[in-house]
A = this chain, B = another copy of it.
Amino acid sequence: MAGGVGERFWPSSRRLRPKQLLDLTGRGSMLRLTIERIGDLARPDEIFVYTNREQRDAVLAEVRGLLPEANVIGEPEMRNTAPCIGLAAVVAERMHGSQAMLVLPADHLVEPVSRFRELVRSGEKFVSAHRALLTFGIVPTRPETGYGYVRPGAELWHDAGVVVLRAEAFLEKPAPERARELVREGCCWNSGMFLWRTDTLLDGLKRHQPELHAVLERIAAALGTRSLDEVLNEEYRGAPAVSIDYGLMEKADNVAVMRADFTWNDVGSWEFIRDVEAADADGNVLVGEHVMIDASGNTVVSRDRLVGLIGVENIVVVDAGDAILVCRRDRAQDVRKIVAELKRRGRNDLV
């Protein structure tokens, strides 16, 4: 899934240069890292990228050589994750028959890749045997308030070093005290990465999202016909815009969670970079050339320009060539407010 903009990564992210196409780590774009992470779990023709039509050309340019051009699907309209994932399931069934399907947001960071692949291979065995909807639950390393949580229940299955449990409940982003409780109780972060058989997913949607399922059946009937574009345009725009978490995972009774012990980051704001880059002795995380005078706890991302800081603490500075962000670190979520203001002003070149 490579739609969306990532407005919290302004000034680097833009409508036609969305977060998943940015090289935020110096190791390649989020999307490229995500495809490379799949490695030998799937053949190139089994990998599909879903994006929106406006961004499709930019996505195509980024994935050239990694998978067939026809596997980059431009959604007619952004309708949240359930329609996107449902469409992916009917397309995959049409091309490869019913089989296991891994759903990955294109803007997460996962390390080490080898462990990720081990867990996916185990999960594939599990979902094939149990016909369950599996979510990857990350073993928390801190009482993070920026993530949702999954509460695990009874053990359903285990493989060498891998445990799958019943998912008892999905919990919204907690307050700090509640987050500490959830970690103590063994809850996991809800990663938004899923694994299931396509037929299990479509059965679940038929039961819990019948309206969406009907849309998907009409699209499926048009696949391979000349009316596909027209049907897709019309039907997809009419699909209920619901998330897969709310629309299916919180409702179904065959939901399982795998305790995933790889390092995971959802790259939700500029703060993410403090998880992946080392800080200096004063707690500054610095990407690019810089001079620090009595500056501590800052995050600076500026690949092309030198940044000098004097006497400031706990701020984020990002240079994107045509715009500069200076933000208190604990306000990193509010970066989207700048994007909203620029839209209001009609500054489409900067959003």
Question: Do A342 and B310 contact each other (CB < 8 Å), given the known contacts A317-B324, A317-B326?
Answer: no
Complex Cα–Cα for A302 and B302 (A): 16
Question: Do A311 and B324 contact each other (CB < 8 Å), given the known contacts A291-B342, A306-B350, A341-B291?
Answer: no
Which one of B294, B310, B328, B337 contacts A335 once the chains associate, using CB atoms below 8 Å?
Answer: B310
Question: Which residues in chain A, 16-71, are within 8 Å of chain B measured between CB atoms?
Answer: none
> A320-344: contact bitstring with B at CB < 8 Å (1 yes, 0 no)?
0111111110110011011001100
**Using a CB–CB distance below 8 Å, which chain A residues touch chain B?**
10-11, 291, 293-294, 302, 305-312, 315, 317, 319, 321-328, 330-331, 334-335, 337-338, 341-342, 347, 350
User: Do residues B326 and A293 form an inter-chain contact, with CB atoms below 8 A?
Assistant: no
Sorted nearest first, the 6 A-B pairs with minimum C-beta distance are A311-B328, A310-B327, A311-B331, A308-B338, A306-B323, A307-B324
Which one of B311, B323, B338, B347 contacts A334 once the chains associate, using CB atoms below 8 Å?
Answer: B311
User: Do residues B307 and A326 form an inter-chain contact, with CB atoms below 8 A?
Assistant: yes
Question: Do A324 and B338 contact each other (CB < 8 Å), given the known contacts A294-B331, A331-B294?
Answer: no
How many copies altogether?
2
Residue of B nearest to A326 (CB): B309
Residue of B nearest to A333 (CB): B310
Complex Cα–Cα for A296 and B91 (A): 53
Question: Do A324 and B328 contact each other (CB < 8 Å), given the known contacts A311-B334, A341-B291?
Answer: no
User: Do residues A326 and B310 form an inter-chain contact, with CB atoms below 8 A?
Assistant: yes
Which one of B305, B315, B323 contacts A323 once the chains associate, using CB atoms below 8 Å?
Answer: B305
Q: List 25 A-B contacts (CB under 8 A).
A: A10-B308, A293-B341, A294-B331, A305-B321, A305-B323, A305-B324, A306-B347, A306-B350, A307-B323, A307-B324, A307-B325, A307-B326, A308-B324, A308-B325, A309-B327, A310-B328, A310-B337, A310-B338, A311-B327, A311-B331, A312-B315, A312-B326, A317-B324, A319-B324, A324-B324
CB neighbours of A308 from chain B (8 A): 10-11, 323-327, 335, 338
CB neighbours of A312 from chain B (8 A): 315, 326-328
Complex Cα–Cα for A165 and B328 (A): 52
Residue of B nearest to A350 (CB): B306
Complex Cα–Cα for A308 and B306 (A): 18
Complex Cα–Cα for A337 and B292 (A): 10
Which one of B293, B324, B327 contacts A302 once the chains associate, using CB atoms below 8 Å?
Answer: B324
Complex Cα–Cα for A152 and B311 (A): 39
Residue of B nearest to A325 (CB): B308
CB neighbours of A293 from chain B (8 A): 331, 334, 337-338, 341
Residue of B nearest to A331 (CB): B311
Which one of B306, B311, B322, B327 contacts A306 once the chains associate, using CB atoms below 8 Å?
Answer: B322
Complex Cα–Cα for A184 and B321 (A): 50
In addition to A308-B338, A311-B331, 8 A-B residue pairs with Cβ atoms within 8 Å of each other are A293-B338, A305-B323, A306-B324, A308-B326, A310-B327, A310-B338, A312-B328, A317-B326
